Copies of this chain bind each other. A is one copy, B any other.
Amino acid sequence: MLDCLLNGEISSHLPVTDRGLHYGDGVFETMAVFNGTPRFWQYHIDRLNIGCESIGLPQVAQSVLLREVQTVSAGHSECVVKVLITRGETGRGYAPPARPQSNRLVISFPFPGGLDVVSRRGLNTRICDLRLGIQPRLAGIKHLNRLEQVMARAEWTDPTIDEGILLDREDHVISATAGNIFLVSNERLLTPRMDRCGVRGVMRHAVLQAFMPVTEQRRISLDMLPEADEVFMTNAVRGIVPIIRIGHWEYDIGPQTRKLLVWLDQQ
């Protein structure tokens, strides 16, 4: 059973001079694959290509990538596949090569267990101390510079806390450490804009597409959190997950969240 392809070849190792390692110079996707079919494949491909274009990498051939995703997920009824595209090998120095030979990694991981249980009871979250830096040039894309998320996730070890909520330097609500956030307010679905920091998640995009008339991307200030009727997180692997607590604020798993859970089951 294969679990990693580097540029189409079986490999568990990457050259030490890869710019993904040295600079985080690349983008990635993490997708749920069920019986060889990546969920929301087109959205993943679209975001990957937007990310590549945004940092000046060549586009990825969709058919090649799909074949590789299916190869590493062969034999698994469900698994997680991570795709990484880096600017390839380099000498020293930040200047990108004029014609980069990007490296393409496709890796499969076991599907995480226990998601159903957590989804049914909802997430217990806290607000992280770390504030995301504002960087419009890289906002929205899923690039390999994720040290902010690592540092934010390292803030707690209490196993009863499932996730952390990230604010930016101006105390706008942005996301969870590993997912986007939606607030339900008067039956409308509000989610932060991803124009200054954060990642335009694929599950977030799917919700925005499917429920367009009742969704709104906007700045969300901290004081909107206690006023929300419902809160949920989106993540390409975990799907839609109710949030039942953010710090001292508690939420019920309400009708809008339940409606979205039913919708996702039907995808």
What is the interface of chain A, defined by CB distance below 8 A to chain B? 4, 6, 11-25, 28, 30, 55-56, 80, 82, 84, 86-87, 91-96, 98, 105, 107, 109, 112, 130-135, 137-138, 143-154, 157, 169, 177-178, 197
A178 proximity list for chain B (CB < 8 A): 93-94
Q: Which of B28, B56, B169 contacts A134 (CB 8 A)?
A: B169
The chain B residue with its CB closest to the CB of A93 is B178
Contact status A147-B16, CB under 8 Å:
no
| Bound-complex Cα distance A22 to B85 (A) | 11
Residues B149 and A23 in contact, CB atoms below 8 Å apart: yes
Q: Which residues of B contact A154 (CB under 8 A)?
A: 56, 95-96
Whether the Cβ atoms of B55 and A96 lie closer than 8 Å is no
- Cβ contact within 8 Å between A151 and B137: yes
Chain B contacts of A147 at CB under 8 A?
A: 23-25, 55, 138, 143-145
Complex contact A150–B17 (CB within 8 A)? no
Query: Smallest CB–CB gap between A84 and chain B, Å?
Result: 7
**Chain B residues in 8 Å Cβ range of A98:** 157
Question: Which residues of chain B have C-beta atoms less than 8 A from A18's C-beta?
Answer: 14, 21
**Which residues in B have their C-beta under 8 angstroms from that of A149?**
23, 94
- Distance between Cα atoms of A65 and B134 in the complex (Å): 36
Q: Which residues of B contact A25 (CB under 8 A)?
A: 146-147, 150
Give the CA-CA distance A152 to B15 in the complex, in Å. 25
Q: State whether A134 touches B137 (Cβ < 8 A).
A: no
| Cβ distance A196 to chain B, nearest Cβ, rounded Å | 9
Top-9 shortest CB links A-B: A133-B133, A24-B24, A13-B13, A133-B135, A145-B145, A23-B146, A94-B153, A94-B149, A145-B147
Contact B92 A30, beta carbon cutoff 8 Å: yes
Q: Are A144 and B13 in contact (CB under 8 A)?
A: no
How far, in angstroms, from A177 to B94 measured CA to CA in the complex?
Answer: 8
Q: Are B153 and A135 in contact (CB under 8 A)?
A: no
Q: Is the pair A146, B22 in contact by a Cβ cutoff of 8 Å?
A: yes
Best-surrounded residue of A94, A109, A148, A178 (most CB of chain B within 10 A): A94
